[in-house]
Structure 1
Amino acid sequence: MKRIVPIVLAVALFMENMDSTVIATSLATIARDIGTSPIALKLALTSYYVALAVFIPISGRMADRFGAKTVFRLAIGVFVLGSLACALAHSLEAFVAARFLQGMGGAMMTPVGRLLLVRAVPKSDLVSAMAWFTIPALIGPLVGPPIGGAIATYADWRWIFIINLPIGIAGILLATKFLPFVEKIPGITFDWKGFGLSGLACAGVVFGLSVVSLPALPPVFGLAMVVVGAVAAFAYIRHAARHERPVVELRLLRIETLRAAIVGGAIFRVGSGAVPFLFPLMLQLGFGYTPLESGIISAVSIGGAMMMKFLARPILRRFGFRATLIGTGLLGGFLMGTIAFYRPETPIAVLVVLLLIGGFFRSLFFTSINTLAFADVPSNRAGDATSMLAAFQQVSVATGVAMAGGILEIGMVLGGTDLPTLADFSAAFLIVGVVTMLAALAFIRLPRLAGAEVSGQRVPAE
């Protein structure tokens, strides 16, 4: 029974992590079927990430106010409804709206699931329970691209989303039977004004950047959305400074280690967030690979990420956060940029090695910043820091997808083609690599022993 709670919660985490990666290898197939461009389908990816960014900050307070078990089951239900809507979509607009609905459910599932785990499992069993809970986070991205590619190659792409229905229903039933009841917390209040302003800021800026170059809409429409988002962001900053408990607590940015982790992580994720969108499309449109072949190759980088799990602790203990993050930021961006020079005649083994090494350094970077972020945060503010970190992460990934799509669209316009060429993808990977390397700048001014208590880095005796 000790393991049943994390396993039940892991059902939802697996479904979300698999779904967030499964679509990338199927974009070209979905685009052909609903009559749109694969590049225009970046809106389906960005809409999902924007929904995560908008709703993650309120997930904890929703769980406290209405009950974590109730909110968790409701989140799975919303995610399943979004999956069904994706399967029934026959236009770009309907598909984008369905992905946003999915994101609303996904935004609640993982944070509330983690909260349930912490409150339901004794502290003596928490490490073991958390290990069971996080396994799907590794397995989902590993099996997602090949599964999505196989379905897109040999079956109707709509099955990618239909398979979520029985998994989600099973998750709701298991949660109802096995998850313990967690008491509501009285006196919880919501910052509805801040929620509205922050949501408008995220959606306006990211969606504006995504649609500014779409041929179906005039550029002024995208620019107007960016302006509205920027104004909302400015208004939120003023609101958060006056509100006692804003939905995203910006005052925590005064903590140097948290600020560096958020800024550096945001820049790095803009670059790395573009790769799952760019890479499968490059293999399919530029190299002629099937969705299944591109999915199998895309999953290789997860192998590097898994290897890192065994080496993160000794690396951080030896080099500390500053040196590790500067090094992984530069190497991670450099390895992304090298994909620009890969050609059909290049041995596949070369690409596999690049992906394995790149996956290792990207995972080490993310593990490091996710740990550094909480090195100096007071325990009673950890919840606020978690919400802010998660929101910035999702906005950054969505911005990366928008940026990558914009680069490809510019190349198509300049080349007078309907689909991006291999040269367009090369340009995109070079730019993405440079942007990613800029993340190292955020850590240069950190003290050499920043976060030493957490990393285990040896502190010289005075």
Structure 2
Amino acid sequence: MTDSETLRPYKPMLWLVAAAVFMQMLDTTIVNTALPSMAADLGQSPLRMQAVVVAYALTVATLIPASGWLADRFGTRRLFLIAIVVFTAGSLACALAQSLDTLVAARVLQGVGGSMLLPVGRLAVLRSVPRQDFLAAMTFVTVPGLMGPLIGPSLGGWLVQVASWHWIFLINLPLGVLGAFAALRLMPDLRAPVARFDGVGYGLLAFGMIAVSVSVDALAGETPRRGAIVVLLVSGLAALVAYWLHAARAKAPLFPLALFRVRTYAVGVIGNLFSRLGSGGMPYLIPLLLQVALGYPPAQAGMMMIPVVLAGMSSKRIVVPLVHRFGYRNVLVVNTVLTGAAMASFGLIVPGQPLWLLIVQFACFGAVNSLQFTAMNTLTLRDLGGEQASAGNSLLSMVMMLAMSLGVATAGGLLAAFSTDAGADAAEPVVAAFRWTFICIGAVTAASAAIFAQVGNTRRIPDQVVETTEQR
């Protein structure tokens, strides 16, 4: 019997979850192309709009650890419906925002809904579909998510150019209304016995992530309260250390420290965090470079991301043979350096550069960057046992969103610092600011190769791990 036939009874639910995954992935990528237009409308510098992206990513990262427990406690149908309603309400609030502060607050509300869409949908699939069909079901669900990065930047640029930036959020409203009605009819109401929620651990972890991310982002701003920001940064780091100590003695911590006794998992998670600092900042920086420094219209700037996504999707096919031939350590060490070099190469872009050369450069970056994601994630999850897989996957998802938040904040901070030093009104200083920002994040990414050098030279990739991380 084919996968399509075995999944037939679950297709309505799978389509619903797939639509939610697509909506979340689309929203993650559609905003970046519209940032310069938002800045002009709100009276802000386009080089200081990173808070719009950071707010969403940080909110998602903060709430991921609680999503599974909430779904077990209140039921998948209710929580999935709440997620869609909150996400849609946040989208409307974003479209109605009249200032940067209200837009950032609306993005937080949107992130509250977005943080529950994928985890709750994945949980519903896990508990509804028979074990032998789970991989086929997850593949069906996540394939539409791959279209989000392909469509998002182009659609965002087109909407900005023919209408206004408000429409990148307004298009979520009909999708949200349809999704809410579909959730009431198609989402199963699944629950499970829950243990006591680790509120202390969650509080420490959430405060630590928020404090570190906010302080990194604030250091880029024009604020005289640098001392308070440093205190916030140190407090956040202290909270993360406190969580580590708390988890060591808690009976049921959010993320048991036993996960880090698995060497491949420990190296993979830490490597993900640091190598994604650069990767997380690139989708934010590239549209700004094209529009602010090179003068591309929004629609063309969005379309320039298509070679990145297409090359990335193509490069996934060579991950398995590369790892089988050379091993994780060699592949990740070499590819991390190549990814950092590809990021730094964007600093060589100058006004008037031939379009074909830009397309080749973007495609090369997309290929090595996508290969990096797939190899990192398969390394991270490959050796986790059944009892550890759920917590390990949730922690990895949280780390990826946290790294995106920190990456955008770091990129925005570097860009603001270099543009302030040189003055951001003339074209050449702006190009120089982008040049040094790309070089710096490329260097940070390349340096993370030292982390992957600590893994054993294992070569085998379990097939199920490849399939479950394909959407990344």
Normalised by the shorter chain, which TM-score bucket?
Answer: over 0.9
Give deviations 1:376-409, integer Å, cap 9, x for gaps. 2121111111121112111111111111111111
Cross-structure match for 2:179: 171
Q: Relative to structure 2, which stretch is displaced further, 428-437 or 241-250?
A: 241-250
Whether 2:248 is the aligned partner of 1:238: answer no
Whether 2:272 is the aligned partner of 1:265: answer yes
Cross-structure match for 1:459: none
The one-letter code of the counterpart of 2:389 is: A
Within 5 Å, give how 1:177-188 maps onto structure 2: 177-182=185-190, 184-188=191-195
Contact 1:212 1:220 in 2 (8 A): no
Q: Shift in Å at residue 193 of structure 1?
A: 1.3
Within 5 Å, give how 1:247-258 maps onto structure 2: 247-258=254-265
Whether 2:395 is the aligned partner of 1:392: answer no
Contact 2:378 2:461 in 1 (8 A): no
RMSD of the TM alignment (CA)? 1.8
Q: Shift in Å at residue 418 of structure 1?
A: 5.1
Cross-structure match for 2:453: 444
Q: Shift in Å at residue 453 of structure 1?
A: 5.7
Contact 1:212 1:218 in 2 (8 A): no
Whole-angstrom distance in 1 between the partners of 2:336 and 2:31: 27
Q: 1:194 aligns with which of 201, 210, 216?
A: 201
Cross-structure match for 1:427: 436
Q: Shift in Å at residue 426 of structure 1?
A: 0.6
Whole-angstrom distance in 2 between the partners of 1:117 and 1:360: 30
Q: 1:354 aligns with which of 356, 361, 372?
A: 361
Whether 2:83 is the aligned partner of 1:103: answer no
Contact 1:313 1:455 in 2 (8 A): no
Q: 1:19 aligns with which of 27, 42, 55?
A: 27
Q: Relative to structure 2, which stretch is displaced further, 279-288 or 394-403?
A: 394-403
- For the residue of structure 2 that corresponds to 1:247, the secondary structure is coil
Q: Shift in Å at residue 455 of structure 1?
A: 9.9
Contact 1:268 1:435 in 2 (8 A): yes
Q: Relative to structure 2, which stretch is displaced further, 314-323 or 391-400?
A: 314-323
Cross-structure match for 2:6: none
Contact 1:212 1:221 in 2 (8 A): no
Give deviations 1:138-191, integer Å, cap 9, x for gaps. 101100001111111121211110110111111121122122332x11243211
Cross-structure match for 2:347: 340
Whether 2:45 is the aligned partner of 1:37: answer yes
Whole-angstrom distance in 2 between the partners of 1:261 and 1:116: 27
Whether 2:93 is the aligned partner of 1:85: answer yes
Whole-angstrom distance in 2 between the partners of 1:198 and 1:450: 34
The change in CA–CA distance for 1:289 and 1:452 in structure 2 (over 3 A counts) is closer
Cross-structure match for 1:94: 102
Q: Shift in Å at residue 314 of structure 1?
A: 2.3
The one-letter code of the counterpart of 2:276 is: R
- For the residue of structure 1 that corresponds to 2:448, the secondary structure is helix
Contact 2:324 2:459 in 1 (8 A): no
Contact 2:76 2:120 in 1 (8 A): yes
Q: Shift in Å at residue 204 of structure 1?
A: 0.5
- For the residue of structure 1 that corresponds to 2:46, the secondary structure is coil
Q: Shift in Å at residue 7 of structure 1?
A: 1.1
Whether 2:11 is the aligned partner of 1:3: answer yes
Whether 2:64 is the aligned partner of 1:59: answer no
User: Where does structure 1 differ by over 4 angstroms across 4 or more consecutive aligned residues?
Assistant: 450-456
Cross-structure match for 1:460: none
Contact 1:320 1:452 in 2 (8 A): no
TM-score, with structure 1 as normaliser: 0.94
Q: Relative to structure 2, which stretch is displaced further, 25-34 or 216-225?
A: 216-225
The one-letter code of the counterpart of 1:277 is: Y
Whole-angstrom distance in 1 between the partners of 2:180 and 2:425: 44
- For the residue of structure 2 that corresponds to 1:373, the secondary structure is helix
Whether 2:211 is the aligned partner of 1:204: answer yes
How many residues align? The count is 455
Contact 1:7 1:133 in 2 (8 A): yes
- Unmatched segments (≥5 aa) in structure 1: 457-462
Cross-structure match for 1:402: 409
Q: Shift in Å at residue 451 of structure 1?
A: 5.3
Contact 2:304 2:359 in 1 (8 A): yes
Whole-angstrom distance in 2 between the partners of 1:258 and 1:141: 27
Identity %: 36
Whole-angstrom distance in 1 between the partners of 2:110 and 2:74: 21
Whether 2:280 is the aligned partner of 1:282: answer no
Q: Relative to structure 2, which stretch is displaced further, 313-322 or 46-55?
A: 313-322
Q: Relative to structure 2, which stretch is displaced further, 155-164 or 34-43?
A: 34-43
- For the residue of structure 2 that corresponds to 1:189, the secondary structure is coil
Whole-angstrom distance in 1 between the partners of 2:14 and 2:133: 11
Q: Shift in Å at residue 219 of structure 1?
A: 2.5
Cross-structure match for 2:141: 133
